[in-house]
């Protein structure tokens, strides 16, 4: 059973969820965070729904064993399937896609673009959730086949900047070619990690990072349930990855996570 001193769990296929963890650290510096990145299997967006569910359940079991007090699904691809695994957890499960839809509602927009993995775009979960809370907002979706994986591999490697720029130019370019847009949701948690690059190449876009809303919703939930940790506590960030501990350590620091208490290897799911 979880208590107010239990950690908050954050899961992603890779390092994308760092964009959520860093917002949590800013807003809730007294909370412990347990991060799981399935580096051995990233990117999820190119897998089938069934495969994504199997890989997700592996991370959920880990988080359930650690008795987290809230689980933040800091992966849009996984969040699209939330109805199929929400009940696997005994704590509340937060979807980053819902956070993105909430952030759009707060802005009251006529139209908005959403860039995401192809899986997220094909699932139509952004248009559906935005449609529920902002029925007058037109949504233009763009699946980006390469951007998440490029970010995963290239962040922290300055020699790869040209490669990042080329993918952003092509894939975000396809969104703005559909329709002139002022606002764009970063519908994959990897994208806020290259937010400055996107803005440099598309300065006319205002970017919406759902992580901000997700951190606020977590704060509200903890306050409402009396589950917020003692404000005097110095929050930990313990990272587990099925990928490279060295890469995760370097990238966590590079994207501004602080503190990074530990980075450990966790064996990937078999078969
Ligand atoms: N970070 C994940 C997301 O938000 C995507 C990366 C992947 O496809 O694995 O959708």
What whole-number distance in Å separates Cα of residue 238 and Cα of residue 10? 10
Q: Find the 121 Cα to ligand 1 centroid distance in Å.
A: 12
pLDDT value of residue 186: 98
The SS3 of residue 140 is strand
**Given ligand 1 and candidates 18, 41, 43, 116, which is best to mutate, with the most ligand atoms within 8 Å of its CB?**
43
Quote the CA–CA distance of 9 and 3 in Å, as a whole number: 13
Is any atom of ligand 1 closer than 6 Å to the C-beta of 69?
Answer: no
SS3 201: helix
Nearest to 173, CA basis, from 201, 138, 210: 201
**Which pair of tokens denotes residue 150?**
């490029």
In this predicted structure, what is the pLDDT of residue 46?
80
The whole-angstrom separation of Cα 76 and Cα 109 is 21
Give whole-number Cα distances, 116 to 2, 96, 268, in Å.
Answer: 33, 12, 25
**Is 148 a pocket residue for ligand 1 (Cβ < 6 Å)?**
yes
Nearest ligand 1 atom to the CA of 120 is: 10
Q: Catalytic residues, which ones?
A: 75, 188
**pLDDT < 70 regions, the chain:** 271
| Inter-CA distances, 112 with 101, 115, 145, 190, 245, Å | 11, 10, 20, 19, 37
Do 136 and 111 meet the contact criterion of CB atoms below 8 Å apart?
no
Is the CB of 41 within 6 Å of ligand 1?
no
pLDDT at 271: 66
Strand order in 237-241's β-sheet? 93-95, 70-73, 8-12, 33-37, 237-241, 262-265
Identify the pLDDT of residue 200. Answer: 98
User: Is the CB–ligand 1 distance for residue 43 below 6 Å?
Assistant: yes
């Amino acid at each position: 059973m979880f208590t107010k001193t239990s950690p908050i769990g954050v899961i992603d296929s890779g390092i994308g969820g760092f964009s959520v963890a860093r917002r949590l650290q800013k807003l809730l510096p007294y909370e412990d965070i347990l991060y799981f990145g399935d580096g051995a299997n990233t990117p999820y967006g190119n897998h089938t729904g069934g495969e994504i569910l199997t890989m997700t359940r592996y991370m959920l079991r880990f988080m359930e064993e650690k008795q987290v007090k809230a689980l933040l699904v800091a992966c849009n691809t996984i969040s699209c399937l939330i109805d199929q695994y929400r009940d696997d957890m005994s704590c509340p499960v937060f979807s980053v896609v819902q956070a993105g839809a909430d952030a759009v509602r707060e802005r009251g927009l006529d139209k908005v673009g959403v860039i995401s993995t192809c899986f997220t775009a094909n699932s139509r979960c952004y248009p559906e959730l935005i449609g529920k809370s902002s029925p007058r907002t037109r949504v233009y979706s763009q699946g980006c086949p390469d951007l998440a994986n490029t970010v995963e591999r290239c962040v922290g490697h300055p020699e790869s900047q040209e490669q990042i720029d080329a993918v952003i130019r092509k894939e975000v370019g396809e969104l703005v070619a559909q329709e002139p847009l002022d606002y764009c949701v970063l519908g994959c948690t990897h994208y806020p990690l290259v937010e400055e690059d996107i803005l440099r190449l598309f300065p006319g876009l205002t970017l919406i990072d759902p992580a901000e809303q997700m951190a606020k919703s977590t704060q509200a939930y903890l306050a409402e349930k009396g589950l917020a940790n003692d404000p005097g506590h110095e929050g930990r960030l313990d990272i587990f990855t099925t990928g490279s501990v060295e890469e995760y350590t370097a990238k966590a620091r590079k994207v501004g996570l602080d503190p990074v208490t530990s980075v450990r290897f966790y064996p990937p799911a078999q078969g």
